[in-house]
Amino acid sequence: MKFKSYSEKDTEKIGEMLARKIKRGEIIRMYGDLGAGKTAFTRGLVRGLGYNGRVTSPTFTVVNEYEASIPVFHFDAYRLSGEEELYDIGFEDYLNRNGVCVIEWSEIVDAILPSDSIKVTIKHGTDVNTRDIEILGVEEL
Ligand SMILES: Nc1ncnc2c1ncn2[C@@H]1O[C@H](COP(=O)(O)OP(=O)(O)OP(=O)(O)O)[C@@H](O)[C@H]1O
Ligand SMILES: [Mg+2]
């Protein structure tokens, strides 16, 4: 499925729409350059799952946890050198907690992720505020 976003709010809305299709245990791999909107998309997703607080980038913490209707574990692999480091921070424990794992910069740790996960790719468009968003692995939103 492809979407066009014209603002950060649009991107959050699309994340919110994806939330309706999300089930426990799912993994969402996020791809896109710096500033593409991966965190904005995740913010919408987390809010769509009923969490009303602040949703910020886990760049420095590597993982942020949100107690939404389904727990959300929001990872940012940007600072990791590879999948080994994801194991080191206890990724398997998070997987066993029956929530949703969202992973920014998924390409860095893709080798250990199941191939059937949902994939979200965000690309910068022609204008500063436009983005092309592709979601694979879910039926119609
Ligand atoms: N259509 C859009 N969708 C999302 N963000 C947009 C859009 N237009 C402009 N922006 C801006 O782009 C930035 C996106 O930042 P965000 O932190 O979500 O990106 P990111 O992909 O998570 O980056 P990083 O790789 O650094 O984690 C914000 O400053 C936001 O205001
Ligand atoms: Mg981010």
Could you tell me the pTM of the whole model?
Answer: 0.97
**C-alpha angle 94/120/51, rounded to 5°?**
55
Both tokens of 123, joined, read 């690309």
Q: What is the pLDDT of residue 71?
A: 98
5, 39, 42: residue to mutate for ligand 1 pocket, most atoms within 8 A of CB: 39
Q: What is the pLDDT of residue 139?
A: 87
Distance 128 CA to ligand 1 centre (A): 10
Q: What is the pLDDT of residues 12-38, one digit of tens each?
A: 999 999 999 999 999 999 999 999 999
Q: What is the pLDDT of residues 65-107, one digit of tens each?
A: 999 999 999 999 999 999 999 999 999 999 999 999 999 999 9
Distance 39 CA to ligand 1 centre (A): 7
Average pLDDT, the chain: 96
Beta bridge partners of 120: 30, 135
Distance 20 CA to ligand 1 centre (A): 22
Looking at the CA of residue 122, tell me the nearest atom of ligand 1: 21
Residue that has been written with the tokens 């950060």 in this structure: 8
Collect all residues with Cβ–Cβ distance below 8 Å to 109 and sequence separation of at least 6.
77, 80, 82, 83, 86, 103
